[in-house]
Structure 1
Amino acid sequence: MRITRFGIGGAVAAALMFGGLAHAQDQGDKTIVLKSFDGFTQLRGELVDFDGERYVLETRLGRLEIDVFQVTCEGEACPANLLFGAEFGIYGSNAIGSALMPALVEGYTYTLDADLVREPGDEENRSTLRIVHPNGEEMAAIELAALGSGTAYAALADGTAAIGMSSRPIQDDEVALLGAAGIPDPRNSERENVVALDGVIIITHQDNPLSSISLAEIAGVFSGQITNWSELGGSDRPINVYARDAGSGTFDTFRSLVLAPNGAEIGADALSFADPNELSDSVAQDPDGIGFVGFAYARASRVVPVRLECGLLSYPTTFAIKAEEYPLARRLYLYTTDRQSTIHAENLVKFALSDNAAPFVEDAGFISLVPEGQSLREQGLRLTHAIVAEDEFSLPLMREMLTEFRDAERLSTTFRFTPGSSQLTAQSQRDAERFARDIIAGKYDGKEIILVGFTDSIGQFELNRALATRRAQGVLFTMNEAVINEAGSADFSGANITVQGYGELTPVGCNTTFAGRVANRRVEVWIR
């Protein structure tokens, strides 16, 4: 039996969440007996609170909290055990539902010291995940339906699902669908959660000599305008095109990032696949094949880097995707609603957002939100391009930057801004708050943290450097505000934080395009 002190804050929160319990406790005897499952240990006391995870008792030993998983409860005042017999649905993205979500449920199950049983459903991409306590009692039955991102919102609207999986942001018509069901817009709120990162990758057969491909060429191939490998510098052979099905979030991402900007639609001859594993395996077996899948589904195929308009090559590495410098990077979302849900559904989302979920995310082949480090030496492509590009360039400033960061490490955490302003995007705002909490927690004690601002090449060189510095200062201000709101003071005494600005130096995108300029307006984090 695990017994610990119970904090006042937690007790107040539990009382607010379970007002019905508090009302019941005002009536009659509140004495309960908690017994360990082996029957050898028991504890008697008055039930003070219950939050679904812990009993809080007033005993002869004082006020104690007891893990609900360790005991059974006897007595008229025992609350209904909300951690047993729960049922809820998780609907949406096949890319998330086929591998990532089962991995997250498995990780959550481990935190409960329980067992996970997976039962196949009556149709493809449906299954039931059962969380079973060691005593054999079922804690939760989760209906998992990985039928495409578009199915998440209808299931949330009609209550079939407590959690919606989407490999793209919610769209306006889907917000309207939720609104018609009385559910508020989840965007930029605690109901919209990025749980992992992914990248749409272009894959070919291992023996294909294609060294890189541009976004325009990708659009040409998948729309049917480019049909022979000789048009891409290869042999005179027809191109076989493999694409995700139109209902998948991967297809939506591909359409919005590749096809739409080039005024293209998917070609009639493209073979469509609902299963990304099947698509990848088909390409790996076809010397003339080319396809697109999520980062986790490269399997035996060969990944082709994307060539930007200015000649910069972008490889889908975990660092580039975390820093959102790979042009086909994407976020993976879990959406919830303000409707009452089971404790397991709520705690599963909390687990998915925690650092404890990172190993399960990565084991499933996806990219976690945990920052990744990279030395200056490992960023050679970016530095080389900065020197040879046609944009205005200052060798003394480059020398200053290389000297400054020679012994430093860049984190993948990168803050970006809404187009045309110095306002952080919603996700960057959350990232800044999370980074501030990590600093306060002592994660970077003894380190120097450098917030480094960059801009696009529009405007005068020196003015851009000043703008970059102001943006870095703005990120620091946001971090201070986050700590003040949470802790009542901005105490970064455990870390040495400085601000730098290098303007348009070392672009990560092409300044000739809107998307490239947006990517270049950023604040990086360096540690030494």
Structure 2
Amino acid sequence: MAGERRGKCVNIGNCSLADKREIIEVKPGADFVCTECGKGLIVAREAGGDGIPKWAIAAGLAVLLLVAGWFAWGALSGDKTSDTTQVAKGEVPPPPATEAEPLLRLGGSNTIGDKLAPALAEAWLKSRGCASVERQTPGNDEIVLSCEADGKPQIVTVSAHGTKTGFSGLKSGSYDIAMASDKIDGSQKSDLAALNPREHVIALDGIAVIVNPGSRVAQLTIDQVAGLFSGAITDWSQVGGAPGAVQVYARDDNSGTWKYFKTAILDNAGTTLVGNAKRFEKGSELADGVVSDPNGIGFVGLTSAGAARAVALAPAGAVALFPTRFTVGREDYALSRRMYLYTAATPAKPDVTRFLSFIASPEGQAVAEKQGFVPRTIEGEKVEQAPDVAPPGYAALTRGAMRLSTNFRFETGSADLDTKALSESDYVERFLTDNRFDPSRLMLFGFTDNKGGDGINCPLSRQRAATVAATLRSRGLQPRTVEGFCSALPVADNSSADGQARNRRVEVWIGR
């Protein structure tokens, strides 16, 4: 019948039509799913046509074998979980086997693998000459992207089963790139010692704490946020709002956003989520609930706030900050985090390096921004007046100046720049070039945490600024001002290791 579509089911092991590789005819207007099991189909070309392109054959085999391997692995290892609960023992499901070797195999974090990694891979494939890219999803958190360029099949696979599986797969050779929403820890790094793993920060993410638009609460301390979400604070009048019983809205347990919020707020406070919290799978639905509830409070990714109002967050002893591209990009905002990729120091495939270069490009960062992440590309924000608590020298230098949306930070317990900072000079140089700013207007201001007195911290803050200045000078950029301001203007709580790390920074400004 004209208009009918023909497909094959890939639910091997659970569907007889898939096991028999039968062609399934789907009537016009009907869902393109298997008539037996209801799973999505892959397209089957008509007999007598031009034939199935090599990339489609390879992609189909990738999907079929991925599904077969997935069910076999599942039978041995039990159900997989998302980032929220790692796969038992960090075991890795078999990667897709294909007629054509995949250009790249990415595995790990659900936070990255859900949308960001597939979007980056698709854009990269198109940059290689693919007119269109087909996506197939043979199982939960499994994506095969395929196309053809210069007559050759181009395939990228993305397996998002949790950060821990990314590291395990990188070690075993199952993955070329590990995706991680948490920084690699010491034991994981030791486990990958043979690969001498390299860290790549591809974007940043921020979580907004939101309230009803009519709420008069404009800012909260981190302790107050923990109290509200744990049930220790039950009425808005306890935090300066109008009287009313607090209603908590939270993401569900399968959410990477929930995992990060739980770790950063509730776990750090030694508490748990209040029992009557309303849970949501999607951030947009959670935000809608808060908008319709005068007493509601919740948390969402930056792009999901909708009509709800984000509040400023104030860590102990630090200035309250709203979540914006600038505060998240500078990692000053309390609930900002990095998105990581990890590779071998010397990748076996040249395409790994090409893919990473694409991600770092303006085109790649535009994809990250479109997916709701804060890109690493830099913007400027004019500052009319420094905070009242700022040192006089800092206030005078920054009045009417432009602050850039980045900070240089350092490895824990070290004077060495961290991995993000090592590549930050590229973005600073690009910003100056694109906006035609004179590099001699650059100003660098160093800061420390509050451990030790001014006798230690003041010279150290100047040393940090000098380290960044030397890095920029190696690229032909000559800052005109390089100053240190000791432990002034903390952006985070100095009582925690994470807070101390955020406070050890060098700010970048463009002078008047």
Matches within 5 A, 1:83-94: 86=102, 88-94=104-110
Contact 1:204–1:284 (Cα < 8 Å) also in 2: yes
- Where does residue 143 of structure 1 map in the other structure? 157
Which one of 123, 131, 156 corresponds to residue 170 of structure 2? 156
Match of 2:5 in 1: none
| 1:361 aligns to 2:329 (yes or no) | no
Q: Does 1:184 align with 2:177?
A: no
Q: 2:336 aligns with which of 329, 335, 347?
A: 329
> How many angstroms does 1:155 deviate by?
3.9
Structure 2 stretches lacking a partner, 5+ long: 1-99
Q: After TM superposition, give the deviation of residue 316 of structure 1 in Å.
A: 0.7
Give SS of 1:314's match: coil
Does the alignment pair 1:315 with 2:322? yes
Q: 1:437 to 1:86 in 2, by over 3 A?
A: same
Of 469, 485, 504, which residue of structure 2 is paired with 1:476? Answer: 469
Matched, 1:526 2:512: no
TM-score, length-scaled by structure 2: 0.68
Aligned mate of 1:237, from 241, 245, 248: 245
Q: Tell me whether 1:257 sits opposite 2:264 in the alignment.
A: yes
| TM-score for both structures, normalised by structure 1 | 0.66
Secondary structure of the residue aligned to 2:387 is helix
The alpha-carbon deviation at position 225 of structure 1 amounts to: 3.2
Q: Using the alignment, how far apart are the partners of 2:388 and 2:236 within structure 1?
A: 28
CA distance in 1, matches of 2:457, 2:173: 50
**Aligned residue type for 1:117:** V
Equivalent AA in structure 2 for residue 413 of structure 1: T
1:167 and 2:150 matched = no
Deviation at residue 314 of structure 1 after TM alignment: 1.0
Partners of 2:436 and 2:307 lie apart in 1 by 38
Q: Which residue of 2 aligns with 1:386?
A: 389
Match of 2:398 among 393, 396, 405: 405
8 Å contact from structure 1 (residues 417, 522) kept in 2 = yes
Bigger CA drift: 341-350 or 357-366? 341-350
Cα distance change, pair 169–517 in 1 and its aligned pair in 2 (3 A):
closer
With over 3 angstroms needed to count, the CA separation of the structure-2 counterparts of 1:127 and 1:213, relative to structure 1, is same
Q: Classify the secondary structure of the residue corresponding to 1:116.
A: coil
SS in 2 for 1:220: helix
Q: Equivalent residue for 1:103?
A: 119
Partner of 1:131: 147
AA aligned opposite 2:330: A
Deviation at 1:263, TM superposition (A): 1.5
TM-aligned CA distance change 1:227 to 1:174, over 3 Å:
farther
Tell me the distance in 2 between the aligned counterparts of 1:350 and 1:359.
Answer: 14
Indicate the residue corresponding to 1:500 in structure 2. 483
Partners of 1:148 and 1:301 in 2: CA distance: 30
Q: Please give the secondary structure, in 2, of the residue aligned with 1:115.
A: coil
For the 8 Å contact 1:183–1:338, the answer to whether it is kept is: no
Once residues 168 and 141 of structure 2 are traced to their aligned partners in structure 1, the CA distance between those partners, rounded to angstroms, is 17
- SS at the partner of 2:132? strand
Distance, in Å, in 2 between the alignment partners of 1:500 and 1:275 is 45
Distance 1:110 1:147 in 2: 26
Q: In the alignment, which residue of structure 1 is the partner of 2:135?
A: 119
Q: Cα distance, 1:367 vs. partner?
A: 1.0
Q: 1:337, CA displacement in angstroms?
A: 3.7
8 A contact 1:312–1:385 mirrored in 2: no
Q: How does 1:192-341 map to 2 (within 5 A)?
A: 192-232=199-239, 233-245=241-253, 248-273=255-280, 275-310=282-317, 312-337=319-344
SS in 2 for 1:161: coil
User: Amino acid of the residue matched to residue 380 of structure 2?
Assistant: G
**Cα deviation, residue 357, structure 1:** 1.5
RMSD: 3.8
Residues 441 and 510 in structure 2, CA contact (< 8 A), matched pair in contact too: yes
